[in-house]
Amino acid sequence: MPHTIFLDAVGTLFGIRGTVGEIYGRFAAEAGVQVNAQQLNQAFIESFLAAPRAAFPGVKPAEIPAREFAWWQAVADQSFTKVGVIDQFANFDDFFKVLFDHFAKPDPWIVYPEVLQTLQQWKRQGIELGVISNFDTRLHSVLDVLGLAQFFTSVTISTAVGAAKPQADIFEVAIAKHKCSPEQAIHIGDSWSEDYQGAKAAGLQAVWLYRKEDSIEPERSSADSIKSLAELQFSSD
C-alpha cells in the first residue's frame, strides 16, 4: 500500500475530445480561416514537441500566467504557420485568446472511463493522491470542472515549480507536500520518458500507463506497465 499516488494529467486522467487539430481548426473556421484539421494536428504535434518544456525558473508567481499564455501562443502560431494560413487571421492575438480560454473549460476534455471509480477506491483505502503535470495553471480549473479536484491533496505544475518532468525537482517538490519518502510514492503517467523514467530517476516507484496497444515498444515491454488505472489494485492487509 503506497502512502501517496501521483498521477500525470493529460493522457492519464483525461484526454482531448477528438484532436487538437480539429479543435484549432473549428475555431479557425469561426474566424474565417479554413484549414485541414489533420494537417494542422500534425503541425501542432511537431510544434509542441519542438518547443522548450513549459517551465519558467526564476519567474515571479504573478508573471507566470502571462508566460504560459505566450508559450502556448508560440506553439499555436508555429502550428498555423506550418500549414500556411497564419497570415489569413485578421488578429491572431484575439483569436488565440479565445482558443486559450477554451481549454480551461470542460468541453475539449474527456475523463477516461475508469478514472473516477479508481480514484474513489484509492481514497477509501486512505491513499493520498496528487497530480504532477507539465501542463499549466489552467489545470486547476480543468480538474475542477471535470469533477476531479476533490480527489487530490496536491497539484504540482511545471510552470509554477520552474522545473518540468523528467527533471527531479518537480517530483521532489510534489513529494515534500505529502511528507513521505520517494520510495513510499508511486507516479503513474503515459509518457515513457517524462513520467516513467523521470519518476524512477527521482527515486519514486513508477508505472507506465499505455492506453493504446501500438504504444508498446520492445524495450519498454518489461517495464511496470498498465493499460488502465483500474489494473493497479492494493491490498488493505
Instruction: Note the pLDDT tens digit of each residue in 185-234.
Output: 999 999 999 999 999 999 999 999 988 765 555 455 556 889 999 999 98
Stretch 50-73: mean pLDDT, rounded? 96
3-state secondary structure of 171: helix
pLDDT at 237 over 80: no
CATH for 18-102 (3.40.50.1380, 1.10.150.720, 3.40.50.300, 3.40.228.10): 1.10.150.720
Instruction: Note the pLDDT tens digit of each residue in 19-33.
Output: 999 999 999 999 999
pLDDT at 163 over 50: yes
Query: What are the residue ranges spanned by the domains of the chain?
Result: 4-14+108-231, 18-102
pLDDT for position 222: 54
In which residue are the cell numbers 483569436 written? 95
Q: Pick from 127, 103, 140, 168: which is nearest to 4 by CA?
A: 127
In this structure, the strands spanning 14-16 and 109-111 are antiparallel
User: How far apart, in whole angstroms, are the C-alpha atoms of residue 155 and residue 131?
Assistant: 5
Percentage of the chain surpassing pLDDT 90? Answer: 89
69 or 217, greater pLDDT? 69
Please indicate, yes or no, whether the overall pTM of this predicted structure exceeds 0.85.
yes
Task: Tell which CATH architecture fits domain 4-14+108-231.
Answer: 3-Layer(aba) Sandwich (3.40)
> Is 37 within 8 Å of 22 (Cβ atoms)?
yes
3-state secondary structure of 206: strand
pLDDT for position 214: 52
Residues 6+ apart with CB under 8 A from 30: none
pLDDT for position 37: 97
